[in-house]
Amino acid sequence: MNCKKALILIAALASLAVAALGQSITVTAPNGGERWMIGDPVTITWTATGLTGSVRINLLRTGGATVGTIATAIPVADGSYLWEAGVLTTGPADAGENYLIRIRSTGSETADNSNAAFALVGRQPNIKISTMRAIGWDHTFTPRTFVAGDTVTIKYYLQNDSPYAAGAFNVGLRVGGAIVARNAYAELVNGGEASGEFTWRATCGSPIAVVADCDGAVVESNEGDNVMTDPELACTQPDLNFFTALSCSSGSTTPKAGLRYEFHAQVDATPVKADNVRVIGGIVGGARLYDHTFPTLVGDGGIEPVSFIWEVPEGANRIYFEIDPDNTVAESNERNNRQELAITGVVSTPATEIYDLKLKVTQPRLFAVPPGGIEAKAGTAMTIAGEVRGATGAIRDFKVSAWVKTKSGRATRIFEQDFNDPEMAVVPFSSSWTPTTPGLYSIQVKVELGPHAVSAGVVDSNLRNNSVSFNVNVVPARATLKR
């Protein structure tokens, strides 16, 4: 047996002997998780059984390597040792996370280590966010709610609650997982406080936080208090929906084939506004007949009409409107953005398509007209204006004209305007006539179906309200007196 093997055997026999004698030592502090500031007074404690004499205290790394000696010849019976944390007999230890204490009996092989690692923390500052609050935008809300697109001002306060100054660092606004804005600070003295704010164009769906030392420029004694959120912040998302259902201007889903009809609905955003809302519509599997982007849909009441005109073919089809087809608006409900309607074009006789065009003249005013007619001056323009009602549904076109008849019975057309594919229930018109010769004239304004409507079999059911006549008495213009 060589000498090395003999020494190992002797050590093993000594350990068995110690165990047989009932000797033990147990480190009770630090035992894992402690963070001791270098230079602070801390207490190392242990318990011992069956031991006399003294102990030696060493600082180890978790891998087992000895860093240095803390103390020697400490009576085992003391059970504790007051240590200036980090100080070794050979000089100071470095700050670090993975340290253990080893206590060993001087007179035997009995020893024990800390159960888990503790940390030695350097003389470091501690920057923390003490308060963070979104103070509002147009107003201060309680609770503080916002919608996507709002401008939100977020104020914060921070402090260095350590006795050590912090060098240059940034405070960041974190949205989701990304820092989207930074405020720079040259330093924060020990015990110092500072404040700042961020202006943020709000988006929904991402948590918001203010982060001190967001880029990790300062080594701190506590990195766990650098982040703060405002728990009362809430993002309200709009719900884009249809205020009124998709329908046909004829009121039927079986309109006459070959005629043009208006198909319409109303869109809305509830309970809050939405910006840049696109709406499309048309034939399912066919042509797109409507495509418009609303700059803003005002929440709760900002209703907008959407419509298109389509010449219905014979047979079955489906039409649709769809809100936000590209899904660019974050919504609380994405399931109510589309409506479809089954339309069947039916071949029928022209007589089944009956409408009533009504003409009304609003200028000149025709109530209380003098017996001699409305007075007008020669050489002065006279406005003739009014409106047509009933030009809805399958009426493709109509025409408004005005005629002047002299006392001798000769008629002259002074105005004519064609209206194609009217989209309004009330269609305004306006013209003017400048008489040149004094005398009594009769003016007739009338509305009639256009050639396309007639060829499609549209019938005007009441021709008695299609024209308005009135007399005009043209008087000479007064001469201007020269002084």
Q: Under a CB-based contact definition with an 8 Å cutoff, are residues 34 and 119 in contact?
A: yes
Q: Which helix (H) or strand (E) element contains residue 324?
A: none
Rounded (5°) CA angle 123-129-130:
105
pLDDT higher than threshold 70 for residue 396: no
Rounded to the nearest integer, the mean pLDDT of the chain is: 83
Q: In this predicted structure, which of 11-20, 180-189, 284-293, 464-473 has the lowest mean pLDDT? A: 11-20
> For the structural domain made of 354-475, what CATH number should be given?
2.60.40.10
The token pair at 227 is 């982040």
Which tens digits make up the pLDDT trace of 112-158?
Answer: 999 999 999 877 788 877 776 654 433 333 335 677 777 888 888 88
Report the range of poorest mean pLDDT among 61-65, 168-172, 322-326, 362-366: 362-366
What is the average per-residue pLDDT within 211-227?
86
Decide: helix, strand or coil at residue 30.
Answer: coil
Q: Tell which wins on pLDDT, 72 or 12.
A: 72
**What would the two tokens of residue 381 be?**
């323009």
Class for the domain spanning 239-348: mainly beta
Structural domain boundaries in the chain: 3-121, 127-235, 239-348, 354-475
Task: Decide if 239-348 and 354-475 have a common fold.
Answer: yes
Instruction: Using a pLDDT cut of 90, give the percent of the chain over it.
Output: 37
- What pLDDT band is residue 465 in, cutting at 50, 70 and 90? confident
Q: What is the predicted pLDDT for the residue at 8?
A: 44
Binned at pLDDT 50, 70 and 90, residue 22 comes out as confident
User: Please, where are the H alpha helices in 63-220?
Assistant: none
pLDDT bucket at 450, cuts 50 / 70 / 90: confident
Quickly state the pLDDT bin for 422 (edges 50, 70, 90): low
Residue 352 has pLDDT above 60, yes or no: no
Nearest Cα neighbor of 157 from 124, 183, 125 is 183
Q: Which CATH class is domain 3-121?
A: mainly beta
CA 397 to chain centroid, in Å, comes to: 44
Res 290: pLDDT: 96
The pLDDT, as a whole number, for residue 144 is: 57
Q: How far is CA 414 from the centre of its chain?
A: 57
Q: Which CATH superfamily is domain 127-235 in?
A: Immunoglobulins (2.60.40.10)
- Reading the block at residue 352, the tokens are 């089944």
Name the nearest CA neighbour of 204 among 272, 255, 261.
272
Which SS3 state, helix, strand or coil, does residue 464 take? helix
Residue 78 DSSP one-character state:
G
Lowest mean pLDDT among 84-98, 101-115, 256-270, 418-432: 418-432
DSSP one-letter code for 77 = G
